[in-house]
């Protein structure tokens, strides 16, 4: 039931009770009015009877006197007849005693005839007495009728009073019951909703209320529950977003600290590393030129291994300092339009020339035309990002079953590059720290690394107003690195220049 229908039923019940009370009061008033009119008419009849009796008594007095004048008697008798005939003619209100009134008229007419024809006064006087007796009997009956009407009026009045009292009591009970029921039907769901809203005010998100009451309140509870669930989902999403942004902020602060340190550290280390690498290479060349000279082959192998190790480690340290210097580089204002498909193909070609890229199946898929897959940036830095991501994917998915897929597509005003492999995958803990400086999970997969490649890639992508993040279903289920970059329109001249300078 709806609130409107409940209110309609309540108002209908109250109006019905009011109408019944009013109808009972109106009927009672009409009944009392009829009794009052009947009593007035009966009193009028009684007054007329008294008038008839008075005139008849005057006639008797005149007849009893000595030498009555005939005109006086005739005049009084005429008055008696007029009053009696008027009483007999008035039958509209109560005709129950019309025979008595007719008998009075007949007696008076007989008296008039007797007076006009009878010469014996005794006979006339006897007729007058009989007429007065008839009038007195009729007056007694009228008095009895008046008393009966008064008793009936009193009885009807008591009935009306009791009926009104009962109807008023029933109306009060019905109104009270309807009011209490309506109050409960409205206030109970309102209190529940009020408590739930207060709960939302103290951050009790996701709170649900019972769908009770009329249809409007059930709908309101449904809307509240939907809103509460939406707020809870949005709060959870915002918490995840805050945690993600917090990790990004911490990572950016770490990268900034590393960059400041790298600016001085790399400058100081590069010179001695260059000297070490130079002397090691020179010593290796001399050792090879002395290969035919007399000497112990075992000693030569040991010396060659030692010098080669020095060269490898020196070059590795040089790569590390280069990455550190890249973190400290300011944003480049001389960005150009970079076509991404040729740049990714170049990164794949460079890695195919190394032992790391041998035996791997690398697939490049461009979902949209190449003219729509371009961004503003430095080709050399973006190439380094793609090389880092491809190298990690190739290392994580060794041949012959290793497979790497690169998908490039445009989504509105963003470019999305996906680097997916079927390698060792990542755990949720590794996913959270994948872009932290000096963090690496390669030893878990039997690989080596210093943990700067993804940090440098993250810094480069952010410098290009983009975003980089990783996804993995779990350990042993492969990984996917996704890069988002702002898209621009590709122009042929700029594309050729970007490819040439990359």
Q: What is the pLDDT of residue 448?
A: 52
- The residues with which 364 forms a beta bridge, in sequence order, are 406
Q: What is the pLDDT of residue 272?
A: 67
SS3 207: coil
CB neighbours of 242 closer than 8 A, spacing ≥ 6?
A: none
SS3 151: helix
Encode the chain (502 residues) as per-residue pLDDT tens digits.
666 777 777 788 788 888 888 888 888 888 888 878 888 877 877 787 777 777 777 777 777 765 555 566 667 777 767 766 666 666 544 545 567 667 767 777 776 666 666 556 677 777 778 777 877 887 888 788 888 888 888 888 888 888 888 888 888 888 888 888 877 878 888 888 888 888 777 777 777 877 777 777 788 888 888 888 888 888 888 888 888 777 777 766 666 666 555 655 565 566 667 667 777 777 777 766 665 555 567 766 777 777 777 777 677 677 667 666 665 565 555 678 999 999 999 988 888 877 776 777 889 999 988 888 999 998 888 988 999 899 889 888 877 778 899 999 999 899 999 999 988 888 888 888 888 877 776 554 545 555 678 888 888 898 888 999 999 988 888 899 999 999 987 664 444 344 444 4
Q: What is the pLDDT of residue 494?
A: 46
Q: Give the containing element (helix H, strand E) for 350.
A: helix 340-352
Q: What is the residue extent of each domain of the chain?
A: 3-183, 226-329, 332-501
Is the distance from CB of 398 to CB of 361 less than 8 angstroms? no
Q: Assign a CATH topology to domain 332-501.
A: Heat Shock Protein 90 (3.30.565)
Alpha-helical segments (H) within 397-425: none
Q: Token pair of 90, please? A: 């008035």
Q: What is the pLDDT of residue 278?
A: 73
Task: Tell me whether the CATH fold assigned to 226-329 matches the one assigned to 332-501.
Answer: no
Q: What is the pLDDT of residue 345?
A: 92
Does the model's pTM come out above 0.75? Answer: no
SS3 91: coil
Alpha-carbon distances of 393 from 49, 388, 405, 419, 447, rounded to whole Å: 133, 9, 9, 8, 12
Is the distance from CB of 354 to CB of 292 less than 8 angstroms? no
- CATH architecture for segment(s) 226-329: Orthogonal Bundle (1.10)
Q: What is the pLDDT of residue 479?
A: 92
Q: What is the pLDDT of residue 401?
A: 76
């Amino acid at each position: 039931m709806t609130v409107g229908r409940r209110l309609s039923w309540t108002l209908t019940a109250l109006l019905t009770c009011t109408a019944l009370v009013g109808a009972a009061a109106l009927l009672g008033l009409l009944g009392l009015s009829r009794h009052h009119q009947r009593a007035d008419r009966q009193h009028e009849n009684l007054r007329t009877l008294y008038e008839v009796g008075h005139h008849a008594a005057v006639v008797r007095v005149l007849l009893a006197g000595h030498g009555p004048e005939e005109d006086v008697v005739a005049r009084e008798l005429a008055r008696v007849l007029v009053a009696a005939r008027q009483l007999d003619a008035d039958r509209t209100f109560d005709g129950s005693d019309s025979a008595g009134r007719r008998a009075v008229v007949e007696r008076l007419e007989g008296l008039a005839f007797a007076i006009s024809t009878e010469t014996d006064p005794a006979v006339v006087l006897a007729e007058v007495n009989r007429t007065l007796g008839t009038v007195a009997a009729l007056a007694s009956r009228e008095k009895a009728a008046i008393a009966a009407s008064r008793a009936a009026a009193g009885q009807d009045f008591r009935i009306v009073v009791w009926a009104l009292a009962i109807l008023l009591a029933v109306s009060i009970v019905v109104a009270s019951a309807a009011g209490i029921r309506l109050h409960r039907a409205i206030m109970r769901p309102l209190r529940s909703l009020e408590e739930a809203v207060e709960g939302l005010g103290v951050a009790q998100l996701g709170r649900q209320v019972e769908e009770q009451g009329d249809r409007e309140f059930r709908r309101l509870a449904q809307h509240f529950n939907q809103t509460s669930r939406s707020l809870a989902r949005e709060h959870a999403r915002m918490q995840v977003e805050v945690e993600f942004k917090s990790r990004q902020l911490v990572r950016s602060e770490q990268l900034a600290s590393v960059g400041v340190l790298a600016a001085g550290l790399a400058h100081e280390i590069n010179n001695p590393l260059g000297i070490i690498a130079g002397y090691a290479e020179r010593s290796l060349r001399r050792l090879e030129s002395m290969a035919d000279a007399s000497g112990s082959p075992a000693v030569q192998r040991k010396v060659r291994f030692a010098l080669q190790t020095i060269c490898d480690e020196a070059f590795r340290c040089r790569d590390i300092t280069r990455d550190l210097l890249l973190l400290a580089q300011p944003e480049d204002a001389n960005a150009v339009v970079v076509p991404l498909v040729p740049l990714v193909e170049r990164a794949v070609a460079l890695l195919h020339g190394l032992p790391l890229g041998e035996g791997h199946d690398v697939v490049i898929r461009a979902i949209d035309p190449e003219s729509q897959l371009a961004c503003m940036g430095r080709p050399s830095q973006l190439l380094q990002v793609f090389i880092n991501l491809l190298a990690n994917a190739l290392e994580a998915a060794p041949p012959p079953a290793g497979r790497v897929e690169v998908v490039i597509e445009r989504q509105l005003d963003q470019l999305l590059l996906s680097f997916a492999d079927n390698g060792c995958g990542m755990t949720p803990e590794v996913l959270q720290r994948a872009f932290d400086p000096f963090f690496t999970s390669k030893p878990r997969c039997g690989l080596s690394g210093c943990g700067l490649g993804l940090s440098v890639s993250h810094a480069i992508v952010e410098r290009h107003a983009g975003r980089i993040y990783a996804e993995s279903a779990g350990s042993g289920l492969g990984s996917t690195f996704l890069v988002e970059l702002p898209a621009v329109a590709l122009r042929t001249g700029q594309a050729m220049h970007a490819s040439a300078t990359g």
